[in-house]
């Protein structure tokens, strides 16, 4: 995916009255718990230089998307960033990157007079303590965001009750809304591909 594709899909959604979530992975490939590679263009950059590059990319991309008529309602800064972001793995470095992304979204939101919500996205919610530590770090570093987004795949992330408990903890103890940004669940137990089913 790239900005022109996001514009094409975003305009289609906007045409039908929907708001759009722009999910910045800040990588040349998708980002998830196993891979948080910096874009090749950022190779060799210091954390501070990456922060500047991330800020500029966010400003430029959102400007292009909004100028194309896409109704952006939410921006996700990073994708499943439990263990790093854009090649950085230390908590202070990731927090600096998040601060840069958040600042860029707020600037564009103000410039265009739009209420664009900022989401941070995590996974591995089976580990309640890890998720609480993440939320605590976001609070301690005073990261400006609106929504704590989670992935929920029952096969890896446990029961619906546990997912609800994670969400309630974030809402109660950190005052943030929670959304499920990624999910998948079987609609049938019938064999559809000749391989064993995973639930």
Q: What share of the chain is helix, strand, coil (3-state, %, to 5)?
A: 45, 15, 35
Contact 82, 130 (CB under 8 A): yes
pTM of this structure: 0.93
Residue 166 backbone phi and psi in degrees, to 5: -60, -45
Residues 6+ apart with CB under 8 A from 135: 148, 169, 170, 173, 174, 176
CA distance from start to end of the chain: 29
Instruction: Identify the H or E element spanning 117.
Output: strand 117-122
Catalytic residue among 49, 99, 161, 182: 182
Per-residue model confidence (pLDDT) at position 199: 62
Per-residue model confidence (pLDDT) at position 185: 78
pLDDT digits (tens, 9 = 90+) for 52-90: 999 999 999 999 999 999 999 999 999 999 999 999 999
Annotated catalytic, 161?
A: no
Catalytic residue among 80, 130, 140, 161: 80
Annotated catalytic, 140?
A: no
């Amino acid at each position: 995916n790239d900005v022109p594709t996001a514009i094409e899909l975003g305009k289609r959604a906007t045409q039908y009255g929907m708001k759009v979530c722009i999910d910045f992975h800040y990588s040349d490939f998708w980002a998830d718990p196993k891979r948080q590679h910096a874009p090749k263009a950022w190779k060799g950059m210091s954390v501070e230089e990456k922060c500047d590059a991330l800020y500029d990319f966010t400003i430029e991309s959102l400007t292009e998307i909004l100028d194309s008529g896409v109704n952006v309602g939410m921006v996700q800064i990073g994708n499943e960033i439990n263990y790093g972001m854009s090649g950085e793995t230390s908590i202070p470095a990731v927090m600096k990157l998040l601060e840069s992304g958040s600042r860029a979204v707020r600037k564009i939101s103000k410039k265009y007079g739009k209420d664009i919500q900022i989401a941070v996205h995590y996974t591995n919610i089976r580990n309640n303590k890890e998720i609480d530590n993440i939320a605590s770090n976001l609070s301690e570093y005073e990261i400006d965001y609106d929504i704590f987004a989670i992935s929920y795949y029952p096969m890896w992330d446990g029961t619906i009750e546990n997912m609800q408990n994670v969400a309630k903890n974030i809402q109660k103890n950190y005052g943030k809304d929670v959304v499920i940004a990624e999910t998948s669940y079987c609609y049938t137990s019938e064999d559809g591909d000749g391989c064993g089913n995973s639930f």
